Amino acid sequence: MQIVVVVRQPMLAGRPARLDDADEIAVDQARRIALCRRDVEVTALAPGPAAAAATVRRALALGADVGVHVHDARLPGGDALAISRVLATAVQRVGFDLVVCGCAPADAAWAMVPAMLAERLGVPSLCFADTLRVGSRTVEISRPEVYQAALPAVVSVTERCGEPRYQRFSAAARQPVRTWSLADLGLDDDSLAEATTVVAAMPMPRRTGTVIQGDPATAAGRVADFLAERQFL
Amino acid sequence: MTAVLVLVPAVDGSAFALLTLARRLGSPLAVACGPADDVAVAALGRFGAASVYSVSSTDFDRSPVAARVEVLAALARRRSPAAVLIAASRTGQEVAARLSVRLDSGAVGDVVDLRADAGGPVAVQAAGGGSGRVESRVVRGTPVFAVRTAAVTPSPAPAEPAVTRTHFALPSRTRAARRLGPGQRPSLATADIVVAGGHGVGSRAGFDLVGQVADALGGAVGGSHTATELGWCPRNAQVDQTGTIVHPRLYVALGISGSVRHRAAMRHATTVIAVDRDPASPIFEVADLGVVGDLHEVVPALLTEIKRRRSSVAPKPATTPRRHP
């Protein structure tokens, strides 16, 4: 069974060796599946600049067996459609029964990539999984509604799937990481033209919490308003 | 005027919000997955749906994503709309992503506002967890927008929708994810909503109150280190550095002061509400909404308020009990 875990370089510069929390959980989930079976090979796949090699390395330390780094100057930046094309080509080249991605809640573009990848690969997608269970031919998730699909499939997992175990400093962390360019994958510029473009970006003032005091009934009303506003009621 | 496809998530505020935005870009065509009855059609019309495309199929429940993608892709090819608007729920985001590949069109997620512009619709996105705003435009194909409907205030604009009724079935050999069921009550670690109590709850009996809030919001119950040490709640419900680390969308802390070890276990929560008597409690530093007061007064009042709001459907006209997930 081939499991490909898609990891990406964290957005914050200056901590190149770390993964996003959700990506660490994605690698850990793949490792947990590998513990229960004999035939599993986990490949960590990271697209990105030279520093993303450290991301692959970290995934190897967390339990992946093989590392692949797609590194090219023409790699699309924030365009989900183009990124999914690169990933689909790379995943197909590795071969897969299951693709696991992490879904960081703060990144809208990345949240769509797993489903786009599944559509390109022509397989079912199970996104935003809070729990993940893999059988011999099927994969089942809950969020908390339960969904099931036949393998091969693409899943994306939330941070709720479970804390990763401690990393290991085994031979895997010293294994060579394969580096592919877009030319290696047979992708040309035309197919990676951006489908969206940013017109303007502006920072928002940091949101600070409100603290209210006084009459319990009024306070309860304010809390109910707050819950309704955020669609929890 | 060109059509704008609106995937109706449920005939309620979220659909009205989508229609409100769609009117700015063209003439809204509401796609109701699951037959829309007269009440639903009237409600959609009140918010400006020029036409309603009512599709009945058993596949919407069984394979929610695949069936919606098929219906929307077919309609988009036939009508070449100005845009497709989808609510950014979990299912919605998946539909938007797959549709955008199917149409080879750009998609923008987490949209909080939309406006028409000479070069095509401009989408305003909340980026980086609300720390910034990004305006972007789709430059290839039919724009697909996944909209955070909670951020949009619906405004009515009555119209008489033309209704088209049709039936749909997925091709029998489609490989798609299947919905098996509603799932069980989430465990603490995987819960979307967590309600936790601490020392301020005061007694084992008082902990019932925590459970009641959890039931009202559909969440899991947790307790602080103190609450579990005192035996008010089981040890496996301990939200703590050495207990369970939670990642909910909503965390409600009742009578928890917020020690370092407690905050370490709940800092991943998206939204935090805290009720505590001491205004100097560190929990208020991480709370989005803090209430200084006695939780034995605030919480019963809150439970009554939630019950009252749930029972009265008055503010939202013509809400039907049926939901399309």
ipTM of the complex model = 0.86
Question: Residues B229-233: what's their mean pLDDT?
Answer: 90
Closest of A101, A23, A132, A159 to residue B189, by C-alpha? A159
pLDDT of B324 above 60? no
Question: Residues B98-107: what's their mean pLDDT?
Answer: 94
Contact status, residue B149 vs residue B88, Cβ threshold 8 Å = yes
Going by pLDDT thresholds of 50, 70 and 90, the confidence category of residue A8 is confident
Interface test with A, best of B153, B305, B316, B323 (most A CBs within 10 A): B305
pLDDT of B318 above 80? no
Going by pLDDT thresholds of 50, 70 and 90, the confidence category of residue B301 is very high
B230 in contact with A, Cβ within 8 Å = no
Question: Residues A143-153: what's their mean pLDDT?
Answer: 90
Contact status, residue B174 vs residue B146, Cβ threshold 8 Å = no
**Residue B322 pLDDT:** 41
How many cross-chain Cβ pairs, A to B, lie less than 8 Å apart?
250
Between the alpha carbon of residue B219 and those of residues A191, B145, B188, the distances in Å are 45, 30, 9
DSSP class per residue in A129-195:
ESEEEE-SSEEEEESSSEEEEESSEEEEE-GGG--------SGGGGSPEEEE-TTTTT--SGGG--S
B202 in contact with A, Cβ within 8 Å = no
A131-134 and A138-142 beta bridge pairing: antiparallel
Between the alpha carbon of residue B8 and those of residues A112, B65, B88, the distances in Å are 20, 13, 12
Going by pLDDT thresholds of 50, 70 and 90, the confidence category of residue A125 is very high
| Ranges B29-33, B34-38, B138-142: which has the least confidence | B34-38
Mean pLDDT computed over every residue of chain B: 87
Interface test with B, best of A107, A134, A147 (most B CBs within 10 A): A147
| Ranges A78-87, B42-51, B313-322: which has the least confidence | B313-322
Which token pair is B156?
């009515």
**Residue B320 pLDDT:** 40
**Considering only alpha carbons, which residue of chain A is nearest residue B268?**
A159
* Percent of the residues in chain B that have a pLDDT greater than 90, as a whole number: 56
For A:8-47, CB contacts with B below 8 A are 21
- B242: buried, middle or exposed (CB in 10 Å: 19+, 13-18, 0-12)? exposed
Nearest-by-Cβ selection for B297 from A125, A216, A230: A216
Contacts of B131 in chain A (CB under 8 A): 203-204, 206-207
B134-188: pLDDT as tens digits: 899 999 999 999 998 877 888 899 999 999 999 999 888 888 888 888 766 667 8
CB contact under 8 A, B101 and A84: yes
Contact status, residue A132 vs residue A141, Cβ threshold 8 Å = yes
Helix (H, G, I), strand (E, B) or coil at B108: strand
**Residue B313 pLDDT:** 46
CB contact under 8 A, A197 and B136: yes
In angstroms, the CA A83 to CA A76 distance is 6
**Residue B3 pLDDT:** 92
Amino acid found at B125: Q
Higher-confidence residue: B269 or A96?
A96
A2 in contact with B, Cβ within 8 Å = no
**Residue A10 pLDDT:** 66
Question: Residues B111-140: what's their mean pLDDT?
Answer: 83
pLDDT of A232 above 50? yes
Contacts of B92 in chain A (CB under 8 A): none
Q: How far is B51 from chain A (nearest CA, A)?
A: 28
Going by pLDDT thresholds of 50, 70 and 90, the confidence category of residue B74 is very high
Mean pLDDT computed over every residue of chain A: 85
**Residue B185 pLDDT:** 60
Contact status, residue B292 vs residue B255, Cβ threshold 8 Å = no
**Considering only alpha carbons, which residue of chain A is nearest residue B112?**
A108
